[in-house]
A and B are shown apart, each in its own frame.
Chain A
Amino acid sequence: AQSVTQLGSHVSVSEGALVLLRCNYSSSVPPYLFWYVQYPNQGLQLLLKYTSAATLVKGINGFEAEFKKSETSFHLTKPSAHMSDAAEYFCAVRPAGGNTPLVFGKGTRLSVIA
């Protein structure tokens, strides 16, 4: 079975500072990994996904994530936070094969302070 752990339900950074949102996964087979963002009163939007190609994945809005198999991690980063990045971020996992649904983490709320 797959599972996702997002460390920190709430992260607060200053505008212009590095954003680091942590995600660790558990999977018995090679995983596909995803980061989604949810802005207030909206649905989820795909930021980026890892599907066993390059381990460093670049997404929209300047975000990127690195797949580290040895650490079973897929942390999301952005060099410089903008006020508009304030949102809820979800990490999700599914096995590379088969038809198993996405398993989402509990989410991390990012606050950006001016």
Chain B
Amino acid sequence: DSGVTQTPKHLITATGQRVTLRCSPRSGDLSVYWYQQSLDQGLQFLIQYYNGEERAKGNILERFSAQQFPDLHSELNLSSLELGDSALYFCASSVGASVGGTQYFGPGTRLTVL
């Protein structure tokens, strides 16, 4: 158990819908990262937040957005969902701001878009 929690574990929705994925980092960690894992693209970095502020941005679509709240939990919002958005979404956390610091991964949310 990494100490990073993600909810829900599974999510099934339809095209065009909007969903919110939630992540709680390990106690004491200030950075939260979001990743998308799919069979064709592999593991892709989406975005990082550090202590409430966006720190680094990766291959995140404009239909996707994220935020980190004062209690340090983070939410990833996916809108106008397409079939291709079906994937595993991982959250990770680390103590510091450096993107290369040791990251601890949550168990993931499996999103299925029908």
Contacts and interface: CB of A to CB of B under 8 A. Distances in A.
Nearest to A31: B100
7 contacts: A42-B108, A44-B92, A94-B100, A99-B98, A99-B99, A104-B44, A107-B42
A72 B45 CA distance: 23
A107 B33 CA distance: 19
B2 A45 contact: yes
Interface in B47-84: 48, 55-56, 58
Nearest to A94: B100
A32 B101 CA distance: 10
A45 B44 CA distance: 16
A49 interface: yes
A100 interface: yes
Nearest to A42: B107
